[in-house]
Every structure is written in structure tokens, then in C-alpha cells.
């Protein structure tokens, strides 16, 4: 049983009640009793744009997002940020819990910021990020931003969640551009060369422009923009490019593929429910040094 009525909660979310929103997010993230019923009762607005930001650590994602929040709220828009923090693979705790670069927006009534941990997810996204994003879609926001940790498979995972995927790079990554072709080049809807005041920014910009010269299969031609987030340079152009993608045919074309990916991940989660990494760790400690230990036999008994 839920300690709150789903219908009343839905109304509170639409009316911008951040306290109710935070409570629902906590309930869903921790899979507390009744969370599935709550998700089934909510009506997410599919028209709310979900923008995913990914890129290597140190690319300036949080700084640019902070500048974009300032830009959008100045236009009267309501913005939600779901910031996914990395989790230690050893103690399963969050390695990065602060959102200090966004501190100036903490008391803004048009801004909601939530940090979540990956909690051992193989990639860089929390296993509950799909549900949390859908809850945010119920809360009358104009834009929802999901910021990944920028490690592992997060760049690919974000493409299965976000309507618009923004990939950020910095001049120091110039030598790595060729290795990006097979993965990142396919999922980016917008490229940003941040810290454009540094040496090598123009060369990196040119290299990316050559790689995205052909439109994607949905007809969208990937913009490549320069920003210096610390100086708020190029921020308006990024906001305009995101809006252009949201109103393009490519945005609608992507919807059915996003829903398919989300459905696949939700089914995967349900079938993995009850399999805890911490319990596997304890079980393995007991048997790993036994004679003829075989990992595949161990796994097969828990299928």
C-alpha cells in the first residue's frame, strides 16, 4: 500500500509541488512497496524534451548545464536535472554526491535538481533512470536534463533514454576522435567542443565537422558547436540547436526506437529483480577458493 494517493500525487506533481516530487522519486528509486502501482497510475507527458549530456569526465558538462539553466529560466522555462553520479564497485556507495556547480539554482522555484547513483549498473546510468525520468515528465517541466558520469557505456546508454543526445568533447580529446566513429558518432544529435578558448579547439571542431558531414538516417544533420561554458559563450546557440532538434522530424522519428529501448530495459530489470551484487559477492567469497570452482556453474544455479 502507498502512503499517498496516486491521483492526488499526480495533481501535486502537475502543480509543481517539489516536496511531493522528491518523495515519489525516492519511492520509485528504492522500489518501495507500491512503486509499480504508482508508476502505472502516473501520466507522463511525452511532449517534454529529455536532453542527455554525456562526454568524458572534465569536459565541463555540469558547468555548461548550469549556464543552460540560467538561459532557460531567464525565458521562464521550468527545468529538471537528473545527475547520475558514479558508484564505487567495491562498497556500492556514490563516489560523487555534490552538485556544487549548480548551487546557485538550488533555491530557484523553476529548477529541480536530483542526484542518483549508478548503483552498480554496468554502464554509466542508474538502473532506475528510466522510471525517474518518466516521473519528472509528470511534473510540468519544460525541459529535463540527464547528465551521465561519462564512463563505460554511458554514452551509448543515454541514446536509449534521451530524445536529444548531446556529446561534449574538449580540445585534449582531439587524438581520440577517430576511435569515436563506431559508437559516439552514431548516437550524437549534437556535438559540443567545450573549453573552446584552449589550443586545438578549432582543429577538433574541423575534424568533427568532417565526420558529421552526412545527415543521419533520420535526416538530421548533426550540428558541431563551440562553447566556453565558464564564460557562458555559445550557450544560446546550444539551446537553439536543442530546440531545433526537438521540433524536427528526427525527434519524432526517434520516439518509437526510444520506447522500444526503454521497454527492453524495463523487462530486463524486472527479470533481474532479486539479483543483488552485494549478495553475489558474499556467496562468491564462500566458494571461490573451493576445488573445481567454475563461474559458469555458479551462475547457472542462480538463473
| Domain residue limits, the chain | 1-43, 45-272, 276-303
CB atoms within 10 A of CB 74: 9
* H-only helix segments in 42-128: 61-74
Q: Which pLDDT score, from 0 to 100, does residue 121 have?
A: 47
* H-only helix segments in 15-115: 18-29, 35-41, 61-74
> Which three cell numbers, joined as nine digits, stand for 275?
539479483
d(CA 94, CA 82): 15
Q: Which pLDDT score, from 0 to 100, does residue 301 have?
A: 83
DSSP 235: H
pLDDT digits (tens, 9 = 90+) for 199-247: 989 988 998 898 888 888 778 899 999 999 999 999 999 999 999 998 8
Q: Which pLDDT score, from 0 to 100, does residue 300 have?
A: 85
Considering only CA atoms, give the Rg of the chain: 20
Q: Which pLDDT score, from 0 to 100, does residue 126 have?
A: 57
CATH topology of domain 45-272: Rossmann fold (3.40.50)
pLDDT digits (tens, 9 = 90+) for 112-135: 999 887 654 444 455 688 889 989
Which mean pLDDT values do the consecutive 10-residue runs of the chain (303 residues) have?
Answer: 73 88 90 83 82 87 93 96 67 48 80 78 60 90 87 58 89 62 72 93 89 82 94 96 90 75 81 82 92 87 75
Amino acid at each position: 500500500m502507498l502512503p499517498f494517493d496516486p491521483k492526488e500525487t499526480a495533481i501535486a506533481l502537475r502543480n509543481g509541488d517539489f516536496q511531493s516530487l522528491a518523495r515519489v522519486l525516492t519511492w520509485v528509486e528504492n522500489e518501495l512497496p507500491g512503486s509499480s502501482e504508482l508508476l502505472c497510475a502516473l501520466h507522463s507527458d511525452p511532449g517534454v524534451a529529455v536532453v542527455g549530456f554525456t562526454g568524458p569526465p572534465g569536459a565541463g558538462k555540469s558547468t555548461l548545464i548550469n549556464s543552460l539553466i540560467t538561459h532557460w529560466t531567464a525565458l521562464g522555462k521550468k527545468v529538471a536535472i537528473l545527475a547520475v553520479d558514479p558508484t564505487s564497485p567495491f562498497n556500492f556507495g556514490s563516489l560523487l554526491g555534490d552538485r556544487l556547480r549548480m548551487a546557485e539554482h538550488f533555491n530557484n522555484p523553476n529548477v529541480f535538481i536530483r542526484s542518483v547513483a549508478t548503483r552498480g549498473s554496468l554502464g554509466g546510468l542508474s538502473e532506475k533512470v528510466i522510471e525517474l525520468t518518466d516521473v519528472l515528465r509528470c511534473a510540468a517541466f519544460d525541459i529535463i536534463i540527464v547528465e551521465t558520469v561519462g564512463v563505460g557505456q554511458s554514452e551509448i546508454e543515454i541514446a536509449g533514454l534521451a530524445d536529444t543526445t548531446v556529446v561534449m568533447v574538449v580540445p585534449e580529446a582531439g587524438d581520440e576522435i577517430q576511435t569515436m566513429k563506431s559508437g559516439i558518432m552514431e548516437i550524437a544529435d549534437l556535438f559540443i567542443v567545450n573549453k573552446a578558448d584552449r589550443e586545438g579547439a578549432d582543429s577538433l571542431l574541423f575534424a568533427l565537422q568532417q565526420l558529421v558531414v552526412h545527415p543521419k538516417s533520420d535526416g538530421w544533420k548533426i550540428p558541431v558547436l563551440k562553447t566556453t561554458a565558464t564564460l557562458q559563450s555559445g550557450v544560446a546557440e546550444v539551446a537553439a540547436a536543442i530546440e531545433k532538434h526537438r521540433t524536427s522530424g528526427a525527434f519524432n522519428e526517434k520516439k518509437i526506437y526510444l520506447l522500444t529501448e526503454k521497454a527492453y530495459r524495463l523487462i530486463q530489470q524486472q527479470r533481474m529483480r532479486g539479483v543483488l551484487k552485494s549478495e553475489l559477492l558474499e556467496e562468491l567469497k564462500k566458494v571461490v577458493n573451493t576445488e573445481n570452482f567454475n563461474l559458469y556453474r555458479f551462475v547457472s544455479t542462480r538463473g
